Structure 1
Amino acid sequence: MTRWLVALLLFVLAGCGVQPTPVVRVGPAPSISSQGGLTLYFVADGALRPVTRENSGPGGPGGTVGTADPATAVQELLAGLNADEKLRGLVTYLPQVYAPVEVSQQGQLSVIVPLPVRALDPRGADQLVCTALFASTNVAAGGLFLTGTDGPATFRRCPLAY
């Protein structure tokens, strides 16, 4: 009798109604290479593309690249394209800015950049959001509060986030 009860219980639990789900594609995965690279988001052919910088920023070796810190990632992004990235046909929709970026990861990710963000081309805003989001420990949030010199924070989502 016990065997039948166990078999019946296993049969009922195995058929609990959970259906398999397909793989959901969300774009290229963010990554930090084992050599200390940092993923930044630039634009190629009108679409966001992840770009890994290896051990140096636009200024050359000895830069601040190599950590998964959103402030560092956004500062590197705002410093502009390096020579190799330009040769590969990448573009940026952000002005070159050399000023500190503030980041808060308490609760929802919040980024304050030293430029007006409301008038940015949407691709430039996406570059900022995706770079900061994928460099943070809170990538699952899918978005962040972006504040510029032109007013209060607005919630923005990365189009590549899930």
Structure 2
Amino acid sequence: MSVPNSARTRPARRITLGGLPAGVLVALAAGVLTGCGIAPTGVIDAGEPAHGLKAPGKPAPDVQLYFLGPTGLRPASRPATAPVGPEEAINLLLKGPNDAERQRGLTNVLPVLPGRVTAEAEDGKVTVHVPMNAKRLDTPSMSQLVCTAANASVPGARSPSEVLVTLVGSNVRVGPMVCGGTNAFPFIQPSPSSALPD
């Protein structure tokens, strides 16, 4: 009696590619996937994670802190859960750059202040109270404070370059100043235009 072809057992075949056994192929694939030249890194602290949903048509809230970098004043953007006012932004600035910002070469040149910094914001203007003679701050320190305050949430819907910032400390006022992106500059009141004859 003959056994049907379907009932015969066949020897198992080895899967090969170009004559290479499957085990060698797996080892080669693992080597290709792990040898891509990227060194392993640890977790990089880039601030608090973003929360909530972005409203359509509105930018996600963030806070711009200004630190000194290798080529001058540089912004560092951090996510926020709500708009951040000038005083809160300056307090974050005073804590210095986080690990990710330090890896970018950003540093804080503000001196250690002997007390608390406060800020008041009104229609397109910010007054920053520092616990020292405001004129003793050097240009990079003033620029960090002015640009951080001007880029915070200030009433009046002005662009950061139009926000007027005044530093006050030890009964000395410096300003108003504006943030020019790379430095703080004294605000120069535009002269009234002369009336044109009819």
Same fold (TM over 0.5): yes
For structure 2, the 5+ residue unaligned runs are: 1-57, 185-198
User: TM-score, normalized by length of structure 1?
Assistant: 0.60
Matched residue pairs, number? 120
Partner of 1:143: 164
CA offset at residue 126 of structure 1?
A: 0.7
Structure 1 vs Structure 2 CA RMSD: 2.8
2:149 is the counterpart of 1:132: yes
CA offset at residue 51 of structure 1?
A: 0.4
Percentage identity across paired residues of the two chains: 30
For structure 1, the 5+ residue unaligned runs are: 1-31, 56-64
2:121 is the counterpart of 1:104: yes
How many Å separate the matches in 2 of 1:115 and 1:85? 27
Alignment CA distance shift 1:100-1:129 (3 Å)? closer
User: TM-score, normalized by length of structure 2?
Assistant: 0.51
Partner of 1:28: none
Partner of 1:42: 67
Q: How does 1:11-90 map to 2 (within 5 A)?
A: 34=60, 36-55=61-80, 66-90=82-106
- Asked if the contact 1:144/1:157 (under 8 Å) is kept, the reply is yes
Aligned with 2:144: secondary structure? helix
How many Å separate the matches in 2 of 1:41 and 1:107? 19
Q: Which has the larger radius of gyration?
A: 2
Alignment CA distance shift 1:45-1:110 (3 Å)? same
Q: Which one scores higher on RCO, CA 8 angstroms, separation ≥ 6? A: 1
Alignment CA distance shift 1:107-1:51 (3 Å)? closer
CA offset at residue 148 of structure 1?
A: 2.3
